[in-house]
Structure 1
Amino acid sequence: MTIRDITIIGGGPAGLYAAFYAGMRDLSVRIIDTQNLLGGKVHFYPEKYIWDIGALPALTGAKLIEQMVKQGLTFDPEVVLNTKIISFEKREDQLFEVRSHAGEVYLSKQVIVATGGGLFSPKRLPLQYDKQFEETNLHHNVYRVNDFKDKKVVIVGGGNSAVDWANDLLGIAGEVHLIHRSASFKAHEYHTRMLLESDASIHTHTIVKELIPDEQNQKLTAIRIRNSQSAEDTTIELDELIVNIGFDHELNFHHDPALKFRLKDDYYIEGSVKAQTAVEGVYAIGDILDFDGKVRLIAGAYSDAANAVNQIKMNVEPSADEKAQVSSHNERFLEKNNEIKNRFDF
């Protein structure tokens, strides 16, 4: 069984940067993620622009994922996907046994928790319907807005996701309807005002009562809605239905009392500015980590990752330097720099 210096639980921005930085420090790494691809929750907004990463002009979530993954895999870490971690424990020989839902055991000298906002699954409409519709035209997220070009789109929800997608699809979709059970919206005020002043059809105090499929029961052709104030029912024909009514949050392994993490708000792992947790040998980085002055930006996740890896390096090799040498002088990049020079004939 292969022993790694570090097992990183979570393959989003924090975990990927930790893998890269650990490579700079000549540490062996394993990344484990529950999803079938790396990138974390940035996959929820592949076409939205991200502006707040230092030195990078606005880029889409999809482009950010591409660049993060490429950088994270620079030093060839082991990658384990479709694997949910349920527990870990420290053995007498000081190695950690990290266990998955399927019973696999991964051995590691130290552990980094980079699980971000946690495990989420989209809330579904409280109706009986064929799950086949979720493979045709019932969506819980939007991956490519052009898939909805010139179509009649109905969106259910009143939070940030629903209102954002409604605004984004205006001018792309042929027609946009928003169904919301209340008259007040939980989305940001500016985006809500944009939507209310737009050409979208807004149906407040309204709930979905029935999904109406085609004759082959392959996809939806309409929904029946009810106004809770008038008790009147209306049928809206549609091409695409988007349901954004929130997410169910699953308990994660770090909630296990046996691990003895200190938690804030029953979720975030309390730690230090150097990413240390109450469990010796276990570090937390990115959104899952909380400390006084914590900044929940991707840039902050990168700082957490470097701090955690530097602590691990000194634990694994007590004589090691406190910090990695910067990349412009780091010997780990000499060969790679020469490869780039040869490629472009500098």
Structure 2
Amino acid sequence: MEVYDVTIIGGGPAGLYSSFYSGLRAMNVQIIEAQPYLGGKLNLYSEKIVWDVGGIPPMPAGQFIQHLVNQAKTFQPTIRTGEKVNGIKKTVDGNFQLQTTTGKTYLTKTILLAMGNGTLDPSPTPFFTNKGEPLKNVQIAVTDFEALKQKRVFISGGGQSAIDWANTLAPIAKEVTLVYRREAFKAHESEIERVTSGPVRCMLQADLVDKKLTADGKIIEAITILNKETAEEEMILVDEVIVCHGFNQKNELFEQNDVGLEVFNEYYVETTPQTKTAISGVFSLGDAASYTGKVHLIAGAFHDAINAVNAAKLYIDPKADAIGTVSTYADKLKPKVATVWKQYATE
């Protein structure tokens, strides 16, 4: 069985950049991602604009994911999606054995925990089928902004995400109805003022009473709402439904391992600023990490990734350089320089 130098658990920004940097430091890498796709939480807002990554122009998160994935593949890592690591053991020769939900096992010299706060499963909602899957015109994360143009959009929720989508869709949708069961929205004051003073119809203290489905039971045609103040019911015709009820976070890895991994403050692994955990050879980075001065931004995830990869390199080879050379002088990238220049020459 192949023994990887580095196994990255999680395929979000921290994990993807770790893949690139591990290759730059001449280590063979595998990424194991529980979801069937890469990109992590960026997939929850793929149609929103990412502004705060240095040197990168503002772009939709979905496009940014593609840039991250392309970079992560620079040194041909092994990428496994749809597999969740649910067990870690230390072998007699000092390596780690990983068990996944598919029944497969892998061997690795080091582990980079880049799984954020675990897998995010949508909170239960009446807008799902009996199997817990969204109905055909129900979206948890908006992935096709254009498809909502001139549609009757119903948004359920009262937090920042719900209000953001209401404000974003108001100029392009035929109509937007925002329904929340509580007395007041919970978001930035300026955004609340914007949504309540614009064309969005806002309904507070409103509960879902019933939904009308198409004959095949796959699409919601109308939703009946109860106004808890007046006790009146109203049927609202809909084309698309966006559900912003939050997510349940799960991380089985903390419950099923024999090396002493423990969760800190509910969602994090306590680390040093160099991403080291209490377990030699295991490093935590990105939103999975907690240390004094930690920055929970994409830019902070990149910083963690560099520290984690450098620490993994030294763990494997104590005589290695503590940090890698700058990319402009990296031998492993020199064969690719001509290709990059050719791309720029054609632009």
Q: State the percentage of identical aligned residues.
A: 35
Q: Match for residue 213 of structure 2? A: 213
Q: Match for residue 32 of structure 1? A: 32
CA contact (8 A) 1:133 1:219 kept: no
Q: Match for residue 284 of structure 1? A: 284
Aligned length: 346
CA contact (8 A) 2:45 2:61 kept: yes
Q: How far off is 1:49 after superposition?
A: 0.6
Q: Match for residue 268 of structure 2? A: 268
Gaps of 5+ in 1: none
Q: How far off is 1:8 after superposition?
A: 0.4
RMSD after superposition? 1.9
CA shift in 2, pair 1:224/1:342, >3 Å: closer
Question: What CA deviation, in whole Å up to 9, does each residue of 1:100-143 have, x standing for no partner?
Answer: 01221010001000001321111232478566983521222211
Gaps of 5+ in 2: none
Q: How far off is 1:67 after superposition?
A: 0.5
Q: How far off is 1:159 after superposition?
A: 0.9
Pairing 1:78–2:78 present: yes
Q: Match for residue 6 of structure 1? A: 6
Q: How far off is 1:266 after superposition?
A: 1.9
Note the 1:196-211 alignment, pairs <5 A: 196-211=196-211
Note the 1:51-130 alignment, pairs <5 A: 51-126=51-126, 129=129
Q: What is the rounded CA distance, in whole Å, between the counterparts of 1:169 and 1:342 in structure 2?
A: 40
Pairing 1:189–2:155 present: no
Pairing 1:137–2:169 present: no
Q: Secondary structure at the match of 1:125?
A: coil
Q: Match for residue 17 of structure 1? A: 17
Q: What is the rounded CA distance, in whole Å, between the counterparts of 2:151 and 2:124 in structure 1?
A: 22
Q: Secondary structure at the match of 1:226?
A: strand
Q: Secondary structure at the match of 1:209?
A: strand
Note the 1:131-170 alignment, pairs <5 A: 134-170=134-170
TM-score by length of 1: 0.95
Q: What is the rounded CA distance, in whole Å, between the counterparts of 1:34 and 1:17 in structure 2?
A: 17
Q: What is the rounded CA distance, in whole Å, between the counterparts of 1:267 and 1:322 in structure 2?
A: 30
Q: Relative to structure 2, which stretch is displaced further, 137-146 or 260-269?
A: 260-269
Note the 1:313-332 alignment, pairs <5 A: 313-332=313-332
Q: How far off is 1:183 after superposition?
A: 2.0
Q: Match for residue 227 of structure 2? A: 227
CA contact (8 A) 1:110 1:281 kept: yes
Q: Secondary structure at the match of 2:329?
A: coil
Runs of 4+ in 1 over 6 A off after TM superposition: none
CA contact (8 A) 1:262 1:278 kept: no
- What one-letter code is carried by the residue in structure 2 that aligns with 1:337? V
CA contact (8 A) 2:127 2:138 kept: no
CA contact (8 A) 1:32 1:79 kept: yes
